[in-house]
Amino acid sequence: MIDRFGRRVTYLRVSLTNRCQLACTYCTLPEEPRTVMQADEVERIMRVASERLGFRKVRLTGGEPTLRRDLPEIVARLDALPGIREVALTTNGLLLAKRAGELAEAGLRTVNISCDSLDPERFAELTGGGRLDQVLEGLTACREAGIENRKLNVVLLGGVNEGEIEAFVDLARREQVEVRFIEHMPMDAERTGKWRLSPRDVLKRVASKRGLVPLPTSADGGPAERFEVDGARIGFIHAMSNPFCDRCNRLRITAEGRIRSCLLTGGEVDLLAALRSGHDDERIDADLVALFEEAADLKPPIYDLQREGGISMRAIGG
C-alpha cells in the first residue's frame, strides 16, 4: 500500500493487550480496555491486509503480549497466511522461559526483548519490580527453541544506564543477539528533556573504544543504523534527533482494534466496528480495505511530538 507521500506501507504492529506485569518508569498506564480483538479477528485483519493491500510483516506487541493465553494460536494463524513473510514479537521477556518453545512451534522466528539495564537492582527499579534473571533466561530459551532472530531493545536513559553501554555490547557478542540502543521518546510535555542521551554520542563512544563496521540497511526498511563491533551486532535508533518518518513503512493497531497512523501523531480509524458490524463477508472485507487506505492517508509527513498531548505507550504498542 502506498500512502499520499509515496511511502510503501507493508508492516503492521498489532497490540494484543494493554496489560503488563511491569510498571516501567517511562511507560504510562492506561485504563484496561473494555474490548480487545479476538484471535480470529486479528487473523481476518491480517488476511485482508496481506491479500488485498500487500502487507508482509506483522509484529505482535502490547502491553505484554505473552499474557495472552492464545498467543501461540494467534502466531500460528498469522504464520499460515500466504502473504505474511514474518511474524515478530516484542515482549518484556519475563514469560519467555516458559513460552518460547510453544511460540517457536507455532512459527515465531523473530523476538525483540525490552531490557534497559543489566544491573538487577537498577532493572527492578526501572521496571517496578521486574527480575532481570527471568529476562535473561527467556533470551536463552528463545535461542534453545530455535527462534533465529533475537534482538534486545535498550532505551537510552541519560544519567541512568549510560554506563552500561559496553556491558550490553559484551552481551551482544556472548549471546549472539543484536542489541539496539533506542533514543528515549518523551510521551508527555513534562518529560521533554528528561533522561536525554544522544545515540550519536553513544555511537561515537563505542567507536572510539572498539571501532565500528557499518552493516547494510535492513531489508525491511527498519529504522536502525546497524554496526558490527568485536563480533557483536548493535544498532542505533535516533527516534528524536533524526526521525525516520520519510521511510516509515508501518501502521499500528491498538488492542481495541483501532489503526493508529503514527506512533505520535496522526488520526485513528476503527476496524473493530467494521468487523463486528454483522454485514456479509464481502462487505466487511471491503470496509476493512477502505479503513486501511484512510489510515495510510492520515500518516503525517513527520510527527509532531506534543501536538496531541500525553499519549499512552501501552495503548498503541510502542
Taken in order 156, 140, 136, 173, the sign of the CA dihedral is negative
Contact 69, 55 (CB under 8 A): no
**SS3 label, residue 195:** coil
Hunting for cell 571501532 — which residue is that?
211
- Strands 178-183 and 250-253 turn out to be unpaired
Give the residue ranges of the annotated binding site for S-adenosyl-L-methionine.
26, 63, 114, 185
Q: Coil, strand, or helix at residue 117? A: coil
Q: Annotated binding residues for [4Fe-4S] cluster, as ranges?
A: 20, 24, 27, 245, 248, 262
Looking at residue 308, its amino acid is E
Known binding-site residues for GTP equal 13, 59, 90, 151, 250-252
Angle of helix 165-175 relative to helix 132-145, nearest 10 degrees, comes to 30
Coil, strand or helix at 53: helix
Tens of each residue's pLDDT in the chain, 318 residues: 888 878 888 999 999 999 999 998 877 655 666 689 999 999 999 999 999 999 999 999 999 999 999 999 999 999 999 999 999 999 999 999 999 999 999 999 999 999 999 999 999 999 999 999 999 999 999 999 999 899 999 999 999 999 999 999 999 999 999 999 999 877 554 444 567 788 888 888 888 888 899 998 765 546 789 999 989 999 998 866 666 667 678 899 999 999 988 876 667 899 999 999 999 999 999 999 999 999 998 887 776 554 444 445 444 455
Could you tell me which residues are annotated as the binding site? 13, 20, 24, 26-27, 59, 63, 90, 114, 151, 185, 245, 248, 250-252, 262
Q: pLDDT value at position 189?
A: 47
**What distance in Å separates the CA atoms of residue 109 and residue 18, rounded to the nearest whole number?**
23
What pLDDT, on the 0 to 100 scale, is given for residue 309? 45
Could you tell me the domains of the chain? 11-316 (3.20.20.70)
For residue 31, the model assigns a pLDDT of 60
Which long-range contacts does 169-176 make (Cβ < 8 Å, 24+ apart)? 169/206, 169/210, 169/229, 169/230, 169/232, 169/234, 170/232, 171/118, 172/232, 172/233, 172/234, 173/230, 173/231, 173/232, 175/139, 175/140, 175/143, 175/150, 176/143
